[in-house]
Amino acid sequence: MTKKDNPQKNSTSVRGIGIDIESIERFRKRPLRSAAHFYRKIFTAAELAYCRTYKDPYPHLAARFCAKEAAVKALGMAPDFKKIEVRKNAQTGAPFLFVKGKNLSSAYISLSHTRDYACALVVIF
């Protein structure tokens, strides 16, 4: 097997992968107003402001929570959710991860949700 054939020896090999799925109902059961402390422990002010721009913020909150869980798994780090932020690329609108103290220039994230569930996938090269 040559270096070209072995992805483990390739400079673009995957260093970490994480995936998570959550019930959106879990977030709906904790209204933003009455559970503000809960949300402030998990999300940054920018994430909360972004999700509040939607009529129904809960699918977006759940998807961002999934992204944080997936990032923890991909990075192999302790779950410190306030250090992980899901941001939006101003030009493309695509989500990307910002993690305090980590260079994630080669991290990919995908968020999705249905009426009932949200999920996220994070791949780090």
pLDDT value of residue 79:
85
On whether the CB atoms of residues 120 and 109 are closer than 8 A, the answer is yes
Instruction: Give bridge partners of residue 18 from the DSSP assignment.
Output: 122
Task: Say what the pTM is.
Answer: 0.86
pLDDT value of residue 104:
75
Q: How far apart are CA 86 and CA 47, in angstroms?
A: 7
Instruction: Give the helix, strand, coil percentages of the chain, each rounded to 5.
Output: 35, 25, 40
Domain ranges of the chain: 25-124
pLDDT value of residue 45:
96
Is there a catalytic annotation at residue 100?
no
Is there a catalytic annotation at residue 113?
yes
Fold of domain 25-124: Ribosomal Protein L22; Chain A (3.90.470)
From the list 37, 68, 73, 88, the catalytic residue is 73
